[in-house]
Structure 1
Amino acid sequence: MKSFEDLDRLVGAVPFDVVTHLRTIDTGRGSEALYRDKLPALLTSLADRARVASIEASSAIEGIVVENRTRAAAIVSGDVDQLHDRSEQELAGYRSALDYLYQEQWRPLNIGLVLHLHRLLFQYGATPGGQLKQVENLVVDRLPDGTRAKRFTPVSVASTPAYLDGLITRYSAAQDAGRHHPVVLVGLFALDLLTIHPFVDGNGRITRALTNALLQEAGYDVTRYVSLETTIARSADAYYASLLSSTHRWHEATHDPWPWLRYFIGVLAGSYDQFTALTASARSGGSKQDRVRDYVLHHAPEAFQIGDVRTALPGVSDPTIRLVLAQLKAEGLIDVDGTGRGATWSIV
């Protein structure tokens, strides 16, 4: 809520590098309708893969991992009747929360929606969801030596309902007013919700799920096709560092939101770059081997696995991907660390 008390002062002057990222985002948004008309099958495939990646990555950020990949896939698909442990229960719960937000009827944004998402997240476990925290909480970091350090103090139990209601009301009013870029406002909403920390557990996952929904509501659909959570998981240190910087002095409303907004908007701009690369690869023609080669040399992350290429190029088989990777390695263009599914490839 604090970020919305004086928006003109807080985010009226947007840093130049953030403006550049916002231009990339708006350009990407403008092309989404074209791709929906011309590449519907590709977008359906990308959406299916992004959904799976988002469920697994957002859970993994919180240390919730199902090591058996086949079983994890079955849980995400809803094909498992018996959930064995907390990780499996919460993976299934996040699937339910995210899928609920993929439906159009989730609107409007209100406290009831936030509580419902939390209830879905914990519906399979022993810990009840769907209620605001009843005990005071701290957000801490675990240091390399095993000790813990306080990152910030969330809003008190007594103040949480009013702060949460105020955040939703002010965010909605700011989006309706249209004075500030809608992506900036979504970023501020995420920052404030994480700082209010309305639940004992699940705050990060609820915030990330809502971030996807609010971006899509504002017309930025890229999170349907490219997993924002996967990028966050891969840059977790930067994610937490930016939050730490921007929550400092939040309670006094004298905080600096730009470390967080710079990170968040940069991640979203990168998602649009990735989306452009994926659609360009599909439109470029050429053989499947050519498409793999182009993606690896020009569009893949600095370090990638076969699964990343598979996600980027729907319809290209694993044997084809492995063949091209072997050729590129023989040419001295890429190198590999490890073997099997866990192998990580990188440009030389």
Structure 2
Amino acid sequence: MDISFKTDTLRITDEILALIAEIDEFKGAWRAIGRIAPERLSSLRRVATIESIGSSTRIEGARLSDREVEALLRNIEIKAFETRDEQEVAGYAEAMDTVFQNAEAIALTENHIKQLHRDLLQFSDKDERHRGEYKPLSNNVEAFGPDGENLGVIFETAAPFDTPRLMGELVTWAAAELERGKRHRLLTIAIFIVVFLAIHPFQDGNGRLSRILTTLLLLRAGYVYVPYGSLESIIEQSKEGYYLALRQTQGEIWSETPDWHPWVTYFLGALKQQKDRLAKKIERERLILGDLPELSQKILEMAREHGRLTVADAVKLTGANRNTIKDHLKTLTQKGFLERHGAGRGTWYGIA
């Protein structure tokens, strides 16, 4: 096959082997680890979904907070969104839901990638002409200063003329690699994503789509815990490292000796952080079920559902005595389940 990038230069270091082993250990243990009450598991997934949608769209410049994302998703059936940010959030939510519900049926093909791109941009008015189609114009990655001034091109993506050929090669290569399984699937997924972003095949939405595709490929590879922990939030919180790793690998990606190591180690490190956070949340859920009084469990569930909770809210929703509620909130805060915000009458509590 006339592939335009070389993968045999990937160095399998001890660090890479250790990261893969740790991630796969969690993958294998998930069947037992994830045995918590269904409503708790459902709550984890709901929170992770909100975090993923918020983070992935903010990475690309949207400004909606997780609370605003959650409010928007409650009314998503309206399908009338006033701002570009709302359109992007709604599209990301729809594409994620498609992947979560149908991952096993969505093989890695160009047609499926284009369909997911259409889903992602379905509410974006300005993207109507090019959604689901490869880019007609150049879309090099540019840097902008704090005042919005253009600092120039930091990475040249594939030319529109070359994009169909390169995408055809990339998808054919990745599908075959994943089917054969000779290379570890996490390494194949990592390479696929960094080359996809180097090509930047669509006029807009490439970053968001790359994270949707990451979730799809991980689910198809058996990492079924992915919907319960937000990988996107990990990337948002390490954005500088994310872009640095991309630039370091993409700079030589079409050469005879590309250096895959910066991106692969970042990618695997992000997956490790994702599973570490999820493991802590699961352990916390078990502690809740085993040690906390029923009223404390109700308070935590309300904090998850509403995003924030005041003493007055808790009194109204539970019917418990105000001083009793205060005692439970204090204990939950001391044990690290809740975080206290504000002071005086403005005090409220959120999930830690």
Normalised by the size of structure 2, how large is the TM-score? 0.79
Distance 1:260-1:324 versus aligned 2 partners, 3 A rule: farther
Partner of residue 135, structure 2: 133
The 1:322/1:168 distance shift into structure 2, 3 A limit, reads: farther
Q: Report if aligned partners of 2:45, 2:229 keep a CA contact under 8 Å in 1.
A: yes
Aligned match of 1:272 in 250, 272, 275?
A: 275
Distance in 2, matches of 1:260 and 1:172, equals 20
Aligned match of 2:320: none
Gap change, CA 1:343 and 1:256, over 3 Å in 2:
farther
Letter in 2 for 1:140: E
For residues 52 and 177 of structure 1, the distance between their equivalents in structure 2, rounded to whole angstroms, comes to 35
Q: Name the aligned partner's letter for residue 115 of structure 1.
A: K
**Alignment: residue pair count:** 321
Separation in 2 of the partners of 1:52 and 1:183? Answer: 25
Does the aligned pair in 2 maintain the 1:222–1:271 contact within 8 Å? no
Q: Give, in angstroms, the shift of residue 158 of structure 1.
A: 0.9
Q: Is the 8 A contact 2:34 2:282 kept in 1?
A: no
Alpha carbons of structure 1 residues 21 and 68: separation in structure 2 relative to 1, 3 Å: closer
Corresponding residue for residue 258 of structure 2: 255
Query: Residues 30-88 of structure 1, C-alpha deviation per residue, up to 9 Å, x if partnerless?
Result: 11122345554432221222112111111111111236935x32322424343111111
Alpha-carbon deviation of 1:338? 7.0
Cross-structure match for 1:295: none
- Give the counterpart letter for 1:101 in structure 2: V
Amino acid at match of 2:73: V
- Mapped pair 1:19 → 2:17: yes
Q: Does 1:31 align with 2:29?
A: yes
- Residues 278 and 68 from structure 1, CA distance in 2 versus in 1: closer, same or farther, beyond 3 angstroms? closer
Match in the other structure for 1:177: 180
User: Aligned runs of 1:203-282 on 2, under 5 Å?
Assistant: 203-282=206-285
- Report deviation, 1:155: 0.9
> Equivalent pairs: percent with the same residue?
28
Other structure's SS at 2:225 match: helix
What residue in structure 1 maps to residue 330 of structure 2?
323
Deviations 1:257-281 (A, max 9, x none): 1111111100101111122212222
Letter in 1 for 2:286: R
For 1:150, what is the secondary structure of its paired residue?
strand
Q: 1:45 to 1:97 in 2, by over 3 A?
A: same
1:119 maps to 118
Indicate the structure (1 or 2) with the bigger Cα radius of gyration.
2
Q: CA RMSD in A?
A: 3.6
Q: 1:336 to 1:103 in 2, by over 3 A?
A: closer
Q: 1:36 to 1:262 in 2, by over 3 A?
A: same
Match among 69, 82, 85 for residue 83 of structure 2: 85
Q: In structure 2, what is the equivalent of residue 74 of structure 1?
A: 71
Q: Is the 2:55–2:233 Cα contact (8 Å) retained in structure 1?
A: yes
Alpha-carbon spacing, 1:121–1:154, altered in 2? closer, same or farther (3 Å): same
Q: Match for residue 10 of structure 1? A: 9
Mapped contact 1:133–1:157 kept (Cα < 8 A): yes
Structure 1: runs of 5+ lacking an equivalent = 293-305, 312-316
For 2:193 and 2:9, the matched residues in 1 are separated by 15
Please say if residues 49 and 230 of structure 2, whose CA atoms lie closer than 8 Å, have aligned partners that are also in contact: yes
2:300 matched residue in structure 1: none
Moved more, 140-149 or 178-187: 140-149
Pair 133,88 (structure 1): closer, same or farther in 2 beyond 3 Å: same
Confirm or deny that 1:287 pairs with 2:285: no
User: 1:10 aligns to what SS in structure 2?
Assistant: coil
